[in-house]
Structure 1
Amino acid sequence: MFHAQIVDYAYPLHAHDTWTVLILDAGAIRYDLDNRHCAVSGGDYVAVLPPGVVHDGRPAANAPGFRKRNLYLDPTFLPASLIGSAVDHTTFRDGPLRRALARLHQVLDADEDPLNAEARLAMIEQRLTDHLAAAPSTSTRPEPQAARALRALLDEHTVQAVSLAAAARLLDRSVPHLVRSFGQAFGISPHAYIIGRRIEAARKLLLAGIPPAEVAITVGFCDQAHLTRHFRRHTSTTPARYASVTGSRAASI
């Protein structure tokens, strides 16, 4: 979760490796999602931003700012095949969905019974899937060849990752088309793929005795904290502990 009140600030272009579901408690926000001009205000509106797609964010022209609640959901929470639809149809007016999201934030913030959160999350998943699956997409069908070409490009730039905008120019495709094609072919977003490749490279370097801080920079993470966050998500442990435990086992053998 992320709760914030934004005044006189504009988010730069960036992308998440998660599904991001946003509701506003006050004000209004404008954002560009892959060159589509989008907006959302309070009331019953819900915004959905798919993983791997570049966007920005700023207060709407007629609003002094906005107060928002973001929910970040694992990239596998919704099928990758829905990414294109989420780009084309990023906002919905759905009162029950909006209220379910608001209540889920309260449940998580209060650290209530996980079963309560799971039940609400299941309802949210179903309503989001229904919206996105029913929404007509203006984008072309997924293209396996484009997905393979993007994967090859990502493999060549694991450390200094190529941006999706640059990849789209090189491959003469749109960003949503590439993201949707990649997700359809491989089941994950391009960003998640790059993170996975970096984690695998980090494992090998850690086993070779390279310090975690050096490993982080070598494989393309900003710093050791960035590596640790993703490494723990992938392996359930920290880089330092992974290296020490596997190292001690190798010594005992």
Structure 2
Amino acid sequence: MTGHVDANGSGPTAVRAWRPAVPGVSEVFHARFTDHAYPAHTHQDWTVLIIDDGAVRYDLDRREHGALSSMITLLPPQVAHDGRSAVPGGFRKRVIYLDLSVIDERLIGPSVDHPELIDPLLRHRLAQLHTTLARPGEEVQAQSRLVLITERLQDHLRHRPAESPLRRPDQPVARRLRDLLDEHLADGLDLEHAAAEIGVTTAYLIRAFTASFGLPPHRYLTGRRVERARRLLLNGMPIADAAIAAGFYDQAHLSRHLQHMINTTPGRYRRSAIGTG
């Protein structure tokens, strides 16, 4: 399903989202926020962000950064970040989420250290891509634009070697727990059982995970469930079914967490992709 509609109208928050039929693009997300602040979370995908109005301040891997309208911001998968407006009046942004087949995972380190890119041509091409992705029937053109954009993004990162690669203590333990959490999004995971399976104490497991990923296991799990619910909603799944499939107790449980994450309701978010071609 392609295309999009305004999911929240005009006002303090406006959100649009859709899943174009373009390989490698997991989601397109446009939003205007005034007072909303993103809690710390991670994505499974690469996040390519441009700011159209205002400015954003965010922490990535416990270091503060800023996103301006002159920049492209590339946030790597599996690294915790948050976000809030850096100026009165909020900000307006456009985001493309790209899956791991599109940008080399080995570039995560350079992206952690240097998420902000100054490249007017690349920014122009990204704006063009957003326009193309919003038009049904332009998938071939969008795919062509995406190839040139991702090539240029990777060229930037390859010339920026990581200053502090992600080589933290206990990373194998943390990675194992992350894999278990991902395997059990819908049914949940008992941390005591997970610790016994990995061969460490529960307290050690939680500390290792938090040190490696920048947020505790329960917040990682909630963020991943919200991410899965978003994709299911944009695929047209009924809200109650999407909530259960993503691991939430019920529709109200999903609604609370989606509101906390992106300041909109499941119904509004789902309507971003309904009846749009």
Normalising by structure 1, report the TM-score. Answer: 0.63
CA distance in 1, matches of 2:177, 2:189: 11
TM-aligned CA distance change 1:54 to 1:173, over 3 Å = closer
For 1:111, what is the secondary structure of its paired residue? coil
Q: CA deviation at 1:160?
A: 3.4
1:170 aligns with 2:208: yes
CA distance in 1, matches of 2:249, 2:180: 21
1:21 corresponds to which residue? 48
1:64 aligns with 2:102: no
Out of 175, 185, 189, the position equivalent to 1:160 is 189
CA distance in 2, matches of 1:128, 1:78: 8
Letter in structure 1 aligned against 2:154: T
Q: Is this contact kept in 2: 1:23–1:69, CA < 8 A?
A: yes
1:55 aligns with 2:74: no
1:133 aligns with 2:158: yes
For 2:189, what is the secondary structure of its paired residue? coil
CA distance in 2, matches of 1:125, 1:46: 12
Q: C-alpha deviations, 1:144-193, integer Å up to 9, x for none?
A: x966433433455542387xxx86832796449xxxxxxxxxxxxx99xx
Out of 80, 95, 99, the position equivalent to 1:74 is 99
Rg larger in structure: 1
Q: Is this contact kept in 2: 1:18–1:51, CA < 8 A?
A: yes
TM-aligned CA distance change 1:224 to 1:156, over 3 Å = same
Moved over 6 A (4+): none
Where in structure 2 are the equivalents of 1:194-233 lying within 5 Å? 216=244, 221-222=247-248
For 2:55, what is the secondary structure of its paired residue? strand
- What is the aligned-residue identity percentage? 38
Aligned residues: 188
1:10 aligns with 2:29: no
Q: CA deviation at 1:223?
A: 5.8
Q: CA deviation at 1:51?
A: 1.1
Runs of 5+ in structure 1 lacking a partner? 177-189, 199-211, 227-253
Q: Is this contact kept in 1: 2:109–2:166, CA < 8 A?
A: no
Letter in structure 1 aligned against 2:74: V
1:101 aligns with 2:139: no
Q: Is this contact kept in 1: 2:45–2:77, CA < 8 A?
A: yes
2:8 corresponds to which residue? none
1:91 corresponds to which residue? 116
Q: CA deviation at 1:129?
A: 0.4
TM-aligned CA distance change 1:139 to 1:8, over 3 Å = same
Q: Is this contact kept in 1: 2:48–2:74, CA < 8 A?
A: yes
TM-aligned CA distance change 1:112 to 1:51, over 3 Å = same
Q: Which has the higher helix share?
A: 1
Q: C-alpha deviations, 1:200-251, integer Å up to 9, x for none?
A: xxxxxxxxxxxx96x957xx7226899xxxxxxxxxxxxxxxxxxxxxxxxx
Which of structures 1 and 2 has the larger relative contact order (alpha carbons within 8 angstroms, sep 6+)?
2
Out of 34, 48, 55, the position equivalent to 2:61 is 34
CA distance in 2, matches of 1:167, 1:46: 36
TM-aligned CA distance change 1:50 to 1:161, over 3 Å = farther
Q: Is this contact kept in 2: 1:47–1:91, CA < 8 A?
A: yes
TM-aligned CA distance change 1:78 to 1:113, over 3 Å = same
CA distance in 2, matches of 1:106, 1:130: 24
**Pairwise CA RMSD of aligned residues?**
3.5
CA distance in 2, matches of 1:151, 1:167: 10
TM-aligned CA distance change 1:172 to 1:8, over 3 Å = closer
CA distance in 2, matches of 1:8, 1:173: 29
Normalising by structure 2, report the TM-score. Answer: 0.58
